[in-house]
Structure 1
Amino acid sequence: MRFQTAFGFDMRFPRILSAAAQRKLKAHLQRGGLVAYPTESCYGLGCLPERPAALKRLIRLKKRPQYKGLIVIGDDTGRLLPLLETLPPERQAELAAIWPAPKTFLLRVRPSVSPLLRGKGRSKLAVRVPAHSGARRLCRMLDTPLVSTSCNRAGKRVCKTEREVRRQFGRQVWVVGGQIGKQKTPSQIIDGDTGLRLR
């Protein structure tokens, strides 16, 4: 993709994009484009979760094994529910009480969700409402959940600044600039059924 821009997102005081900028970014994503944006501990690399062509492009760009699943983020629990098997109201309330947080839960996914997203042969999807106001606002602004994998090629250092994103990926992704959070490590990954921490 020959597109690159930055919007000066700030984690603490994320700016609202102009209507024109929002339309351009939405169109870029609808065409299968990729976006890089700040999250809790590093830049995330994402796309629309229901676009197989975008998922394939992201996996190729990262040189990531296809059997691995991807994380999806949303601005609230409700944004993630269409991807998941029906959750009882009490479970939804539990998650709403935990999020936003750097905690990713593996929850049972709808069969219609692409194996590229959930991982080949897997019945759960990794989801999170991030503890980063800019990332949440981006989902709210775009009115969609977003894939959120670390912004780096396999074996390379994760990108923590806009400059590092541009150095690794050039014009292949649309960059939403801003500050990452203060989290030193990636989000925890917790099995939603057993409560077992996997990362």
Structure 2
Amino acid sequence: MNTKIWDLRQEHQTTEELDALKEMKRIFENDGLIALPTETVYGLGADARNEQAIHKVYEAKGRPSDNPLIVHIHTLDQLEAFTSGITEEIKKLMKAFWPGPISFILPLKKGYLCHSVSGGLDSIAVRMPSHPIGRRILQFVDLPIAAPSANLSGRPSPTTFDHVYRDLNGRVDGIVNGDQSEVGLESTVLDCTQFPFRIARPGSVTQSMIEDIIPNCITTQGTLDIDKPIAPGMKYKHYAPDTPVKIIEVLNQPPSSDKDWSKTAFILPRSKQNLVPDEATFIALCKDEQDIKTANHKLYQILHQLDQDEHIEQAYILGFPINDQTTAIMNRMMKAADQVIVKGEKL
């Protein structure tokens, strides 16, 4: 397949951009797949009403078909066609956080979206992204666009055009260049099919931010059925580079000098750089252990970088103490490291 590339980073409302948007609309209307930028990660978009198009999404990604997709919209009016049960509390949260990096799982109204987009569930996750290029595309095509991360299933999510191109060139109809994603982690997914609500996937919109809008609206009681996941990333291996990664629980002293660290990368805050062995590769995750926003932004970029550096055979990444601000990044780190944690003094 010949993959078309569009660069929409210049000022919009040009003849060239209008022609590109018209071409994208035709592709979406004819079962095609287009990778487009959002503020979280790049998404692989397809018409959420089209069974054949959604099948192509699963096929292009190598994604299990029971792993539900998130539908992207540009206006609240679109919700009426395929969702129900939107309470005043949900509307209040949508007003507070949309457009933005949060998805709401809502009761699914049958008959509009295709069956596969929800993974066979009676609910659907919906998001309204804030990325200016992604929004222009959604507004122009005016379709509900299902868009999981634009990468091969299980790999680190893509936050740059180059990440998408390496994974999906030749597998999709087109890729839109929109610079690096600002947030860098997938959206928060909030299950609104019950009250109190549940966070099905943590993201940059945190529990405390949500409860600042509606106090005590989130429960941590009960368990989510992982065998029938209601949100992406709940059941299958995700976010993992080919390079083996382990999480360091605490690092207050340099690792043992008796080992050969020449093919090892240490992914740490810059404030910890002095602890890295001279022969090892140092990769700065953020400024210090309080700089969570930068760590979120850079994590996937670094995981991709590991696989591009032929000199790196293993990597260690410093974990963060779990709190409201770090839940999302630790969720992604744990999956990338296949739950492997080591103590710094054991290195």
Which category of TM-score, normalised to the shorter sequence, fits these structures? 0.7 to 0.9
- Between 1 and 2, higher relative CO (CA 8 Å, sep ≥ 6) is seen in 1
- Between the aligned partners of 1:146 and 1:56, the Cα distance in structure 2 is 14
Query: What is aligned with 1:4?
Result: 4
Instruction: Give the residue type in structure 2 aligned to 1:178.
Output: G
Displacement after TM superposition at 1:2 (Å): 2.8
The percentage of counterpart residues that share the same residue type is: 26
Query: What is aligned with 2:82?
Result: 83
- Between the aligned partners of 1:132 and 1:27, the Cα distance in structure 2 is 22
Query: What is aligned with 2:141?
Result: 142
CA contact (8 A) 1:26 1:142 kept: yes
Query: What is aligned with 1:126?
Result: 125
1:139-193 CA deviation, whole Å, 9 max, x = no partner?
A: 1011222112111111222222222222211133211111233213211110113
Alignment gaps of 5+ in structure 2: 202-347
Q: Judging changes above 3 Å, is the alpha-carbon distance between structure 1 residues 155 and 86 closer, same or farther for their aligned structure 2 residues?
A: closer
- Between the aligned partners of 2:51 and 2:183, the Cα distance in structure 1 is 30
Displacement after TM superposition at 1:33 (Å): 0.6
Query: What is aligned with 1:179?
Result: 179
Q: Judging changes above 3 Å, is the alpha-carbon distance between structure 1 residues 90 and 165 closer, same or farther for their aligned structure 2 residues?
A: closer
- Between the aligned partners of 1:118 and 1:9, the Cα distance in structure 2 is 32
- Between the aligned partners of 2:82 and 2:180, the Cα distance in structure 1 is 26
1:198 aligns with 2:200: yes
Q: Judging changes above 3 Å, is the alpha-carbon distance between structure 1 residues 181 and 163 closer, same or farther for their aligned structure 2 residues?
A: closer
- Between the aligned partners of 1:117 and 1:63, the Cα distance in structure 2 is 15
Query: What is aligned with 2:330?
Result: none
Q: CA RMSD in A?
A: 2.1
Displacement after TM superposition at 1:86 (Å): 5.8
Query: What is aligned with 1:54?
Result: 53
Larger Cα Rg: Structure 1 or Structure 2? 2
1:54-110 CA deviation, whole Å, 9 max, x = no partner?
A: 100000111111112100111122223312126467754552343112111100111
1:160 aligns with 2:153: no
CA contact (8 A) 2:35 2:175 kept: yes
Equivalent residue of 2:94, what SS? helix
Alignment gaps of 5+ in structure 1: none
- Between the aligned partners of 2:46 and 2:67, the Cα distance in structure 1 is 16
CA contact (8 A) 1:107 1:191 kept: yes
Query: What is aligned with 1:30?
Result: 29
CA contact (8 A) 2:161 2:180 kept: no
1:7-43 CA deviation, whole Å, 9 max, x = no partner?
A: 3337xx6x24643322221111111110001112221
Q: Judging changes above 3 Å, is the alpha-carbon distance between structure 1 residues 8 and 19 closer, same or farther for their aligned structure 2 residues?
A: closer
- Between the aligned partners of 1:90 and 1:166, the Cα distance in structure 2 is 40
Query: What is aligned with 1:19?
Result: 18
- Between the aligned partners of 2:119 and 2:186, the Cα distance in structure 1 is 19
Equivalent residue of 1:176, what SS? strand
Equivalent residue of 2:55, what SS? helix
Equivalent residue of 1:175, what SS? strand
- Between the aligned partners of 2:23 and 2:135, the Cα distance in structure 1 is 19
Query: What is aligned with 1:114?
Result: 114
Displacement after TM superposition at 1:130 (Å): 1.4
Equivalent residue of 1:22, what SS? helix
Instruction: Give the residue type in structure 2 aligned to 1:191.
Output: D
Equivalent residue of 1:6, what SS? strand
Equivalent residue of 1:126, what SS? strand
Instruction: Give the residue type in structure 1 aligned to 2:5.
Output: T
